[in-house]
Amino acid sequence: MKYIIVTGGVMSGLGKGITTASIGRNLKNKGYKVTAIKIDPYINIDAGTMSPFQHGEVFVLKDGGEVDLDLGNYERFLDTELTREHNLTTGKVYESVISKERRGEYLGKTVQIIPHITNEIKERIRRVAAKSGADVCLIEVGGTVGDIESMPFLEAVRQMYREEPKENLAFVHVTLVPMDPQGDQKTKPTQHSVKELRELGLKPNIIVTRCPEPLLEGTISKISLFCDVSEEAVISAHDADDIYEVPLMLEKEGLTDFLMKHLELTSTGSEDKSWSKMVDRMHHLKGDVKIGIVGKYTHLEDSYLSISASIKHASIECGVNYEVCWINAETFEDHPEMVSSLSEYDGILVPGGFGERGTEGKIRAIQYARENDIPYLGLCLGMQLSVIEFARNVAGLEGANSSEFDENTPYPVIDILPEQENVVDMGATMRLGDYDAALRPGSLAEKIYGQSSIVERHRHRYEVNPNYVEKIEAKGMVFSGKNRNRMEIAEIPGKKFFFASQFHPEFKSRPGRPSPPFKAFIESMIK
């Protein structure tokens, strides 16, 4: 097994995740099977209880793992499916070690960070890598070198360097090269970051520099000299117009060739050009569509990262430019008359979310889309609110609501199903990960997917109440996708496009292989 360990210095948010995903994509293009692990130094067991304001989107994996959004980038770039084991947190590691200590597995020894915590980290990394059957395992160490939280993980990978053959490990360090007001590229932050890394016993084989403009030859020479790496190992990762251009940029900079030489990876003789073809299509889009996304985390786009990516994938496939406008749902609660501003959009999307805030504004937006026949896509809560809106305004169930928002509603059209009641843990009442759905013959859903059954990822607690399905369907809304007594898809026949899913199709969308509902949504706007 070959390991590529990616660390970061100077500051967070430099782009370690995109760098890691891009390295993996380029190796995949060369014919290698690649997997990836994200190390998050926070004490949370997973990202499931984190607010979108704190950590952006919670990405859901096929096995129900709630993880950091970087794993979403891994899945999209590598066109693969990962599991919760691919996300390693301090919480998971310490929970496991403490459980072993309580069971007496350490035979009375004093349990310490070294070797017990570091051994647990190494064992988990190696187990996931071996189980994947990959040729190369990428490991992104979250946080910044020097953070106290990251120390046990950096010590663990230092030990791996001692234990593995030298040709099996490569260390990639991502740093910042800022420019001063005179336009000079400053190397001191990189020098200090590498110095701190070396004090921990780690030496980078490659330095990937984030910078506004391509590195000058003099800057490369200086970093090479002061950081003790060859000049070909100093990679310029300057600003790109789009993150999907980054793998091509790093390939052009020679990063893949250097890694293959260092890891003694021989050419497989195959070359996958699909990524570069996708990027080329992205640069030749014609026309445009304007999409209004009505949500409540609209000032923080990372909260809807997978939705943004899915729209991009579908737009590239359809050959059309797109403009996304983020609309705060509470605007329509405070100023109901402003809902008419939605007339300027070619399509309206209401995403998922939790809590009552903004829900009535979203319902007004859904009603406007339905009554004015504007293409509409609802996701998770966006489906539940579609059912509430239809129940209130078409099915005659005045006061219909979700029991999440109103325990005393006369018509709880959205409710907790009996099998989910009386569960205390925060995540235990949720439906998480892959579930299947049977599609109604002749429905829009069947047309979109081109098959009679599907598997999509979920993250929700409340469901459409089966007791009201007959009344709602009698008035024209069709539940065209079902998982036994659970409603998975709602659509309204006769509309240009009105499709809402209880699941999150955005989690399975890929560049070159867009999510079917998103593609159909874009196509309806083009028409």
pLDDT in tens, 305-327: 999 999 999 999 999 999 999 99
In eight-state DSSP terms, residue 510 is B
Q: What does each C-alpha distance from 127 to 104, 124, 332, 338 come to in angstroms?
A: 23, 5, 50, 55
- Active-site entry in 75, 333, 404, 506: 506
Q: What's the rounded Cα separation, in Å, for the pair 126 and 374? A: 51
Is the pLDDT at 426 greater than 60, yes or no?
no
Is the pLDDT at 421 greater than 70, yes or no?
no
3-state helix, strand, coil in the chain (%, to 5): 45, 20, 35
Q: What does each C-alpha distance from 320 to 255, 323, 377 come to in angstroms?
A: 32, 10, 18
- Active-site entry in 262, 313, 458, 504: 504
Tens digits of per-residue pLDDT, 71-105?
A: 999 999 999 999 999 999 999 999 999 999 999 99
- Name which of 151-160, 183-192, 197-206, 418-427 the model is least confident about: 418-427
Q: What's the rounded Cα separation, in Å, for the pair 414 and 405? A: 10
Q: Which amino acid is at 78?
A: L
Going by pLDDT thresholds of 50, 70 and 90, the confidence category of residue 427 is very low
Active site (annotated) includes residue 318:
no
Active site (annotated) includes residue 163:
no
Q: What's the rounded Cα separation, in Å, for the pair 421 and 259? A: 52
Residue 51's pLDDT is 75
Residue range 377-385: mean pLDDT, rounded? 97
Tens digits of per-residue pLDDT, 163-190?
A: 999 999 999 999 999 999 998 999 999 9
- Active-site entry in 380, 404, 456, 488: 380
User: For residue 195, what are the β-bridge partners?
Assistant: none
Residue 15: CB atoms within 10 A of its CB come to: 19
Residue 11's pLDDT is 86
Domains identified in the chain and CATH numbers? 2-278 (3.40.50.300), 285-526 (3.40.50.880)
Structure tokens at 108: 């009375």
- 179: helix, strand or coil: strand
Residue range 132-150: mean pLDDT, rounded? 94
Q: Is 428 in contact with 420 (CB distance < 8 Å)?
A: no
Q: What's the rounded Cα separation, in Å, for the pair 49 and 114? A: 29
Going by pLDDT thresholds of 50, 70 and 90, the confidence category of residue 284 is very high
pTM above 0.85, yes or no: yes
Going by pLDDT thresholds of 50, 70 and 90, the confidence category of residue 420 is low
Residue 48's pLDDT is 85
Residue 349 — φ and ψ, nearest 5°? Answer: -125, 130
Active site (annotated) includes residue 380:
yes
Q: What does each C-alpha distance from 525 to 173, 291, 306, 497, 519 come to in angstroms?
A: 43, 9, 20, 9, 10
Selected residue with higher pLDDT from 55 and 70: 70
Going by pLDDT thresholds of 50, 70 and 90, the confidence category of residue 232 is very high
Q: Is 31 in contact with 260 (CB distance < 8 Å)?
A: no
Is the pLDDT at 278 greater than 90, yes or no?
yes
DSSP string for residues in 12-69? S-SSHHHHHHHHHHHHHHTT--EEEEEEE-SSSSSSTT--HHHHSPPEE-TT--EE-H
Q: What SS3 string covers 200-263?
A: CCCCCCEEEEEECCCCCHHHHHHHHHHHCCCHHHEEEEECCCCHHHHHHHHHHCCHHHHHHHHC
Residue range 107-135: mean pLDDT, rounded? 96
Selected residue with higher pLDDT from 68 and 127: 127
Residue range 439-454: mean pLDDT, rounded? 98
Structure tokens at 429: 């009442």
Going by pLDDT thresholds of 50, 70 and 90, the confidence category of residue 429 is low
Q: Where are the beta strands (DSSP E) in 330-408?
A: 347-350, 376-379, 401-402
